[in-house]
Structure 1
Amino acid sequence: MKKIGIVATLILLSIGLVFTSAAAQTDPETEETKEVKLTDEQKNELAKLYGEAFEKKKEIISKYVEYGVFSEEKGDKLVEHIESHYKKLEENNYIPKYGQHKHHHEKGKQ
């Protein structure tokens, strides 16, 4: 009897997660884009935070390479991707531009 209760609970949670994630997704083409201009102070603060976050990510990748989870080549590619992302953020004045390109993992699908 407990198994049925657990299974029913898991099913209800799964259904709830599906509806929640579907509701949270928006169509980037129909979503209004608000043009925001950040002040230099705001950009500097975001630059500092992103810089710290990316340095921490690179440190984590380095540990994975050290522990043998990633090859050195894979670690280098991940770091290169992080640096590319940071450069794009800089170019966009630290305003993320989501939904304006296909993700790299979607290439080749169709």
Structure 2
Amino acid sequence: MSKRWFSVFTAILMTVGIMGLSLEAKADMPTDVKLTTEQQEEIKSLQQDALKQKKEIINKYVEYGVFSKEKGQKIITHLEERYIKLEQNGFVPIFHDDYKKHRSKES
């Protein structure tokens, strides 16, 4: 059991580290990328797996008393909403600076 938690903890730390690197690299990211259907399906599968694992982690925190049931549900709802937005954008992430540009395209 402790090996599993160590793996989860390591994955979270790596994700945070990668997010930091991606913030530095976002200036170099193209803004009008379109993924192929095959690429979208592959990313969709990975994102669904990640969402499922994140939900399991939040539920464990609730079980262990780290989060209240309400707080855990609020976090899960936020994760699900983020997934939906990602799906609507063809699984290409929208960074905060690009959000206004993306919203103006929808109008």
- TM-score range (shorter-chain normalised) is 0.5 to 0.7
Which amino acid counterpart does residue 37 of structure 1 have in structure 2?
Answer: K
Q: 1:97 aligns with which of 94, 98, 101?
A: 94
Q: Distance in 1 between matches of 2:54 and 2:37?
A: 25
What's the CA shift for 1:26? 7.4
How is 1:75-94 mapped onto 2 (pairs within 5 angstroms)? 75-94=72-91
What's the CA shift for 1:81? 0.4
TM-score by length of 2: 0.64
Which amino acid counterpart does residue 96 of structure 1 have in structure 2?
Answer: P
Q: Cα deviation per residue 1:4-50 (whole Å; 9 max; x = unaligned)?
A: xxxxxxxxxxxxxxxxx8xx64796xx67442221111000000000
Instruction: Name the structure 1 match of 2:37.
Output: 40
Which amino acid counterpart does residue 88 of structure 2 have in structure 1?
Answer: E
RMSD: 2.4
Q: Cα deviation per residue 1:56-79 (whole Å; 9 max; x = unaligned)?
A: 000000000000000000000000
Instruction: Name the structure 2 match of 1:58.
Output: 55
Q: Where in structure 2 are there 5+ consecutive unaligned residues?
A: 1-19, 101-107
Q: Distance in 1 between matches of 2:46 and 2:25?
A: 27
Choose between structure 1 and 2: higher helix proportion: 2
Cα gap change, 1:69/1:41 in structure 2, threshold over 3 Å: closer, same or farther?
A: same
Instruction: Name the structure 2 match of 1:73.
Output: 70
Structure 1 residue ranges, 4+ long, deviating more than 4 angstroms after superposition:
24-28
Which amino acid counterpart does residue 84 of structure 2 have in structure 1?
Answer: K
Cα gap change, 1:38/1:72 in structure 2, threshold over 3 Å: closer, same or farther?
A: same
Which amino acid counterpart does residue 54 of structure 1 have in structure 2?
Answer: L
Q: Distance in 2 between matches of 1:76 and 1:88?
A: 18
Q: Where in structure 1 are there 5+ consecutive unaligned residues?
A: 1-20, 103-110
